[in-house]
Amino acid sequence: MAGYKGGFGGFGGNAQMQQLMRQAQKMQEEIAKAQEELEEAEIEGESGGGLVKVVVNGKKVVSSITISPNAVDPDDMEMLEDLIVAALNAAYELADQMYNEKMGKYGNAGGMF
């Protein structure tokens, strides 16, 4: 133990540790801001040329579904169901793109904070 100086085992002095803490705090703030932007986003997916529209946020929470009366055929409810699924999938795909743009640069760190 002749050359042991204590400290944080390779992190260097206290100044470097403080710098790491500042960087971590800055990243945490950026992640929180990105998550807030995702929650507040309004992303619209549509199908059937606009017969069905779905609005979700960047975290894939549905806030509204709009169905044109022209999409409603009592004898073909399966078509309307398919249009709703297609609109949801379109909105989710856009939400995934937004999420990756906002959070992708943080990798797994997004779940750390």
Within-domain flag for 90 = yes
Q: What is the pLDDT of residues 34-74, one digit of tens each?
A: 999 999 999 999 999 999 999 999 989 999 999 999 999 99
Within-domain flag for 77 = yes
Q: Which domain holds residue 62?
A: 14-111
Residue 104: name the closest of 30, 44, 48 by CA.
30
What CATH number is associated with residue 81?
3.30.1310.10
Within-domain flag for 8 = no
Q: Which residues contact 47 (CB under 8 A, 6 or more apart)?
A: 83, 84, 86, 87, 90
Within-domain flag for 1 = no
Within-domain flag for 9 = no
Q: What is the pLDDT of residues 67-80, one digit of tens each?
A: 999 999 999 999 99
Is the predicted pLDDT of residue 2 greater than 50, yes or no? yes
Q: Using CA atoms of 98, 103, 105, 108 in order, give the dihedral in degrees to the nearest 10.
A: -140
Total of domains in the chain: 1
pTM of the model: 0.70
